Structure 1
Amino acid sequence: MDFIPAASARPQPQFSLHIAVAEGQLLCSGTEFLHSDFPFPGSAVVSSHYLGELGGRTCGVHLLSGRLPAGGCDWRGLRSLLGEVDELHFSLAGRALQVANWDTDHRFCGRCGVVTEYHPCDRARVCPRCQLAVYPRISPCVIMLVTRGGECLLARHRGHPHGLLTALAGFIEPGENAEQALAREVREEVGLEVGACHYIGSQPWPFPGQLMLGYIAEWAGGELKPDGLEIAEAAWFHHSELPSAIPPPQTLSGQLIRRFAEEAA
């Protein structure tokens, strides 16, 4: 099954599949968040947005005024679906939440305070007074697995759910390219220098709106010293002795770790 994202926000077709979002959560029946029938009256809907086509069926998200009850369904956070649904459906759920969050967060112009309006074609909210246009925010990040021969560096981030050991990651700052951000983040977080960097792939990460650029980077020097602020602990692990508490394969971090282990074996 393929998902074809909407090229623009307008016009909106009639939806065949519905996603209901309220207060940052998804209405789910078990792990199923796509509904053929929409169980809420129009008065409960703040806004609706066309997302694209899933398997040839039009799909849209409805932002509700609150987490209203629906028989047989529960409201779930997106992170609870990680590892329980496939990558395509997880990305679609993330897309729905990101569009809903954009619509909620930019109802007023951040420059002059006037109520914004929808752009006639683009997915954007535009201020009718100063013409400031705000699109859904995407923040580029790097995520990097640092390797040293047959070992890779795994770290536990402060506040990371379940205490997973994972790859390092960080936001790209203004004026940086991805490789410069990678080297800076590794230096700041664990005190190491990196050499050759190999781009592996990317993944949308809707917590709340990142685009992760994945790399495997070779250690070039320095002694391991976690900063204690973002990184609680870090250690080198041989590819044959990886810990069990690593990210699932649906995540880019999990894919980097498993790829390294397979290629190093």
Structure 2
Amino acid sequence: MLLCHSEGLLHSRLPFTEREIVASHYLGELGGASCGVHFLANQLDVPGCGWRGLRGLLGEVSELEFSLAGRAVQVVNWDLDHRFCGRCGGATEDYGQERARTCNRCHLTVYPRISPCVIMLVTRGEECLLARHTRHKHGLFTALAGFIEAGESAEEALAREVHEEVGLQVAAMRYVGSQPWPFPGQLMLGYLADWAGGEVSPDPEEIAEAGWFRFDQLPDIPPPETLSGQLIRTFVAQCESRKPKQ
């Protein structure tokens, strides 16, 4: 949870005692000002402020503030999860020279990790494939996505995930962009991919519903702050640019 202003903006300057602060981390600069995060022992009541989940800030604060908030949450979680060595069980301590923790016993050093993922919008002419995932309760239709496995390229993971989730084959893939996604700690690589064959056959464990949608007849889709929303809007803009001018 993050302590925020009542207006929804991230709070940056609050006085806390050393006893209330479990750990502090420098995060970089925003607008020329140094930024950091304090992890508190308890959720304190602060006048004019409230505790909010990270996902609830998406679309309500600026992209820079959301990125900073996501970085703060990931750094704090990494620090808390690695207080003991995963190899020998010994206690770890701050490495000091860089953001890392090192084991006092076996000297293993661990750094913050991110998980690479692919997110892909499969297109077929003026249609795109959108799906509702079983684990998401918001009901939005979105692009397909999945983790890159050990030894895979992003393109190999894309083709595998599309086939596993909806039974389709893809051909040409076009990289669009990337986005850090702090739920819990991914780097999303976004692609547009051409449909090459197959009928839509959703994996019931992953996909609640999937289908083809014309660019001008889309269901509720993710906001433009998300990479999925950007992929869909990129496809729509491409289709609209091909329409004959009146």
How does the TM-score come out when normalised to structure 1? Answer: 0.88
CA deviations 1:4-56 (Å, max 9, x no partner) are xxxxxxxxxxxxxxxxxxxxx10011311132x32322211001111011111
**2:14 maps to which of 19, 38, 41:** 38
Structure 1 residue 119: deviation in Å? 1.1
SS across alignment from 1:95: helix
1:241 equivalenced with 2:217 (yes/no): yes
**2:175 maps to which of 191, 199, 203:** 199
CA distance in 2, matches of 1:211, 1:169: 12
Structure 2: which amino acid aligns with 1:263? Q
**2:25 maps to which of 38, 41, 49:** 49
Give aligned pairs, total.
239
Q: Could you say which residue in structure 1 is the equivalent of 2:235? A: 260
Q: Could you say which residue in structure 1 is the equivalent of 2:194? A: 218
CA deviations 1:60-109 (Å, max 9, x no partner) are 00011121211121110000011111211111100000011011110011
Is the CA contact (8 Å cut-off) linking 1:46 and 1:64 kept in structure 2? yes
CA deviations 1:121-174 (Å, max 9, x no partner) are 111111121121111120000000000000000000012131110000000000
Structure 1 residue 113: deviation in Å? 1.1
SS across alignment from 2:122: strand
CA distance in 2, matches of 1:33, 1:114: 36
CA distance in 2, matches of 1:29, 1:120: 32
Is the CA contact (8 Å cut-off) linking 1:240 and 1:261 kept in structure 2? yes
Is the CA contact (8 Å cut-off) linking 1:52 and 1:58 kept in structure 2? yes
Q: What does residue range 78-227 of structure 1 map to in structure 2 within 5 Å? A: 78-227=54-203
List 4+ stretches of structure 1 deviating above 4 A.
Answer: none
CA distance in 2, matches of 1:231, 1:88: 32
Q: What does residue range 43-82 of structure 1 map to in structure 2 within 5 Å? A: 43-82=19-58
Q: Could you say which residue in structure 2 is the equivalent of 1:18? A: none
Is the CA contact (8 Å cut-off) linking 2:91 and 2:105 kept in structure 1? no
Q: Which shows bigger deviation, 145-154 or 79-88? A: 79-88
SS across alignment from 2:19: helix
Where do 5+ consecutive residues of structure 1 fail to align? Answer: 1-24
Is the CA contact (8 Å cut-off) linking 1:147 and 1:219 kept in structure 2? yes
CA distance in 1, matches of 2:198, 2:139: 25
Is the CA contact (8 Å cut-off) linking 1:246 and 1:254 kept in structure 2? yes
Structure 2: which amino acid aligns with 1:134? V
Q: Could you say which residue in structure 2 is the equivalent of 1:20? A: none
Is the CA contact (8 Å cut-off) linking 1:39 and 1:70 kept in structure 2? no
Structure 2: which amino acid aligns with 1:152? C
Alignment identity in percent?
Answer: 68
CA distance in 1, matches of 2:215, 2:11: 39
Is the CA contact (8 Å cut-off) linking 1:86 and 1:250 kept in structure 2? no
Structure 1: which amino acid aligns with 2:26? Y
Where do 5+ consecutive residues of structure 2 fail to align? Answer: 241-246
Structure 1 residue 206: deviation in Å? 0.1
RMSD: 0.9
Q: Could you say which residue in structure 1 is the equivalent of 2:244? A: none
Is the CA contact (8 Å cut-off) linking 1:158 and 1:231 kept in structure 2? yes
